[in-house]
Amino acid sequence: MTVEAHKETLGFQTEVKQLLQLMIHSLYSNKEIFLRELISNASDACDKLRFEALSDDALWEGDNELKIRVSFDKDARTITLRDNGIGMSRQEVIDNIGTIAKSGTRQFFESLTGDQAKDAHLIGQFGVGFYSAFIIADKVTLTTRRAGVGAEHAVRWESAGLGDYTLETVEQAGRGTEVVLHLREGEDEFLDGWRLRNIIRKYSDHITLPIVMEKERYGEEEKEQAPEDETVNQASALWARARSEVSEEEYKEFYKHVAHDFEDPLLWSHNRVEGKLEYTSLLYIPQRAPFDLWDRERHHGIKLYVRRVFIMEDAEKLMPTYLRFVRGVIDSNDLPLNVSREILQHSKVIDSMRGGSVKKVLGMLEDLAKNDAEKYQNFWNEFGRVLKEGPGEDFANREQIGKLLRFATTHTDSSEQTVALADYIGRMKEGQEAIYYITADTFAAAKNSPHLEIFRKKGIEVLLLSDRVDEWLVSSLTEFDGKPLKSVTKGALDLGKLEDEEEKKAQEKVADDFKDLVAKVQETLGDKVKEVRITHRLTSSPACLVAGEHDMSANLERILKQAGQKVGGSKPILELNPEHPLVLRLKAEGAGARFGDWVSILFDQALLAEGGQLDDPAAFVQRLNQLLLELR
Ligand code: ADP
Ligand code: MG
């Protein structure tokens, strides 16, 4: 079959151009990592081949020795990497190399300031993989053929890393990918076998395939003395080694490969489990949340191996969703090599490995919280909102997860979430039985809510919850350490033993005094409210709204509405502060002409104060203006 010479030029996605610029600028001081990234990709490609070949033997094409080859050419000023992995089809090249498929891409670019120095540290978080080749190369040629007998022709991709790239159909006997880097002026330091071997040992020693430095291409007359091909790395599975035999640096470099991260991990845990089940896990917690943390279809979680053979990427069954930030490998001795995703769905082995691994992760976080509060706080700031999904998803571990939670509270009034439930319990007042919380749309709305007035007066701490996930959290974490969690915006205020008998009697008397007013207000508001009553939870506001004991909180109702869900629309209870001058005046003046307006305004104000939206804002403004005019 002849191949038509067909070469087309395609433009990079706009983001790719921006990314290349930023990357060359910011990674320049650490440019040798280009080799780590390209080797990491070659290794992934070989893993993928091995996995696909489990169900399609033909993919091997008679060549079973997976290998990564590195060579350089002093005269041509090129470095070449070759792998006999899965390769790419034409479309895959376009999708993988011409575009950035990460779902957080747009947000990432929005978060950039345009100041390259400031943005430089962000690039590490994004990870740029293949494009790091352009740090040292002003032209990159990638030739690749997808594995499989009779697979389509190979394709050659070439780019100077500016605005576009070319694609051309070519012939290539072996499957896999070859990347040729045409070095920039002044990068000749990399045309040196000793230097390249050192870089490989430093960053890629953990790669489980042999990385072979090919007989170096010296000038013609020197070739005689050149060393033979040489495997540079240890090529053994790092996690299969004893802990004492793995250095900190090796753990870190391995992390960067499995997690596709440019930064060091925050912490890790390496375990061998023996007994009924045998497996090894090496689990990492990243320092920073990736941009696609909120994308539930994201990739790169836990890699599953069976007896050191790679089985699959992103084995989602191995970690629950609320721990989706964990990276690493789990290597089982019990699963069959030809395990499929379907088998994994119902595997007892997987279930127990997962249970054990979850315990490991929670334990590792608990230790961190105990031993290094500052580092733990960093973790919390990055991943806390994900961990808050835990009690809902993982009921069995909810007490342990509860220990890891951190909150903003009225104790500090800071939006930083630093208070553990144990700290809260340690500060509970004599006679306090519940852990009080308030949920609101924003931190400011929670912190300034009228519902907190009595709690502030009595010095009772309240958790200030304003993350979206918090409503979900408190619906599943209904108690901690034997203490119920109680919303301050639901039900009648019951401070239990925090109030003495005398106080309670006085309150009853006041309620009795205001009976007529309450009835009249109720009549005026009609079916806008479920009930009107006198409260003593307010000290400076005239009124507030609360939800019935068993109703949905107003905040949750708003969240669901915003998400487009139909909600029942349970009616609020209006509570009046009997000590407030406005309420006292209402009571004294009785049914003046403006009674209805006053009551409406009180109600609307209370709704606004808790972050709600008025049904008829214009009417509110009109009433208010009318009253202001009468003030003269
Ligand atoms: P990442 O490795 O994090 O996915 P990269 O930028 O390093 O990001 O690579 C982008 C994609 O290009 C890879 O996910 C893979 O699909 C493809 N790719 C890169 N190098 C190779 C290779 N040597 N063989 C096959 N596919 C590759
Ligand atoms: Mg990569």
Do 439 and 446 form a contact (C-beta atoms < 8 A)?
yes
Residues with CB under 5 A from ligand 2 (ion): 40-41, 129
Burial of residue 560, with CB atoms counted within 10 A of its CB: 0-12 exposed, 13-18 middle, 19 or more buried: middle
Ligand 2 centroid to residue 67 C-alpha, Å = 17
Which of 219-223, 314-318, 336-340, 359-363 is predicted most confidently? 359-363
pLDDT for 105:
67
Q: Kindly report the protein residue whose alpha carbon is nearest to atom 5 of ligand 1.
A: 129
Whether residue 291 has pLDDT greater than 90:
no
DSSP symbol at 217: B
pLDDT for 220:
56
Q: Which ligand is nearest to the CA of 131?
A: 1
Q: Which of 12, 43, 44, 81 has most ligand 1 atoms within 8 Å of CB, for mutation?
A: 44
pLDDT for 27:
76
Q: What is the pTM of this model?
A: 0.81
pLDDT for 217:
59
Ligand 2 centroid to residue 399 C-alpha, Å = 38
Q: Which ligand is nearest to the CA of 97?
A: 1
Do 237 and 281 form a contact (C-beta atoms < 8 A)?
no
pLDDT for 365:
98
Whether residue 611 has pLDDT greater than 70:
yes
Which domains does the chain carry?
A: 7-235 (3.30.565.10), 243-370 (3.30.230.80), 406-488 (3.40.50.11260), 498-630 (1.20.120.790)
Ligand 1 centroid to residue 291 C-alpha, Å = 18
Q: Which atom of ligand 1 is nearest to the CA of 48?
A: 25
pLDDT for 253:
93
pLDDT for 569:
72
Token code pair at residue 78: 């090129």
Q: Kindly report the protein residue whose alpha carbon is nearest to atom 8 of ligand 1.
A: 129
Question: What is the average pLDDT across 196-207?
Answer: 91
Whether residue 520 has pLDDT greater than 70:
yes
Which helix H or strand E contains 480, and what residues bound it? Answer: strand 479-480
Token code pair at residue 450: 């009228």
Do 135 and 34 form a contact (C-beta atoms < 8 A)?
yes
Question: What is the average pLDDT across 573-585?
Answer: 92
Q: Which ligand is nearest to the CA of 177?
A: 1
Ligand 1 centroid to residue 93 C-alpha, Å = 9
pLDDT for 97:
84
Ligand 2 centroid to residue 152 C-alpha, Å = 24
Q: Kindly report the protein residue whose alpha carbon is nearest to atom 19 of ligand 1.
A: 41
Ligand 2 centroid to residue 89 C-alpha, Å = 17
How much of the chain exceeds pLDDT 90, in percent?
A: 56
Could you give the CA distance from residue 437 to residue 196 in angstroms, rounded to a whole number? Answer: 58
For the CA atoms of 486, 488, 493, 496, the dihedral, rounded to the nearest 10 degrees, stands at: 40
pLDDT for 182:
97
Question: What is the average pLDDT across 426-446?
Answer: 93
Question: What is the average pLDDT across 287-293?
Answer: 78
What are the φ and ψ backbone dihedral angles of 533, each rounded to 5 degrees? -155, 165
Q: Which ligand is nearest to the CA of 99?
A: 1
Chain segment 585-607, per-residue pLDDT in tens:
888 877 577 888 889 999 999 99
Give residue 526's identity as a one-letter amino acid code. Answer: G
Chain segment 17-65, per-residue pLDDT in tens:
777 777 777 777 788 989 999 999 999 999 999 888 888 889 999 999 9
pLDDT for 95:
85
Q: DSSP for 517-562?
A: HHHHHHHHHGGG-SEEEE-SS-SS-SEEEEB-TTSPPHHHHHHHHH
Whether residue 162 has pLDDT greater than 90:
no
Ligand 1 centroid to residue 16 C-alpha, Å = 15
Average pLDDT, the chain: 87
Half-sphere exposure of 273 (CA within 13 A, CB side): 22
pLDDT band, residue 139 (cuts 50/70/90): very high
Whether residue 260 has pLDDT greater than 80:
yes
Q: Which of 36, 43, 86, 130 has most ligand 1 atoms within 8 Å of CB, for mutation?
A: 130
Do 426 and 542 form a contact (C-beta atoms < 8 A)?
no
Question: What is the average pLDDT across 163-185?
Answer: 93
Of 122 and 52, the structure prediction assigns the larger pLDDT to 52
Q: Which of 20, 27, 41 has most ligand 1 atoms within 8 Å of CB, for mutation?
A: 41
Q: Kindly report the protein residue whose alpha carbon is nearest to atom 21 of ligand 1.
A: 41
pLDDT band, residue 296 (cuts 50/70/90): low
Ligand 1 centroid to residue 88 C-alpha, Å = 9
Identify the residues whose C-beta falls under 6 Å from ligand 1.
Answer: 37, 41-42, 45, 83, 85-88, 96-97, 127, 129-130, 177, 260
Q: Kindly report the protein residue whose alpha carbon is nearest to atom 14 of ligand 1.
A: 96
Which segment of 190-199, 284-293, 503-512, 560-569 scores lowest on mean pLDDT?
A: 560-569
Calculate the alpha carbon distances from 4 to 150, 152, 153, 383, 488 in Å: 17, 13, 11, 52, 74
Calculate the alpha carbon distances from 73 to 31, 80, 191, 621 in Å: 19, 8, 7, 78
pLDDT for 146:
95
pLDDT for 2:
43
Q: Which of 36, 43, 52, 96 has most ligand 1 atoms within 8 Å of CB, for mutation?
A: 96
pLDDT for 352:
93
Question: Strands 479-480, 483-487: parallel, antiparallel or unpaired by DSSP?
Answer: antiparallel
Q: Which ligand is nearest to the CA of 96?
A: 1
Residue 565 burial (CB count, 10 A): 9
Could you give the CA distance from residue 552 to residue 491 in angstroms, rounded to a whole number? Answer: 11
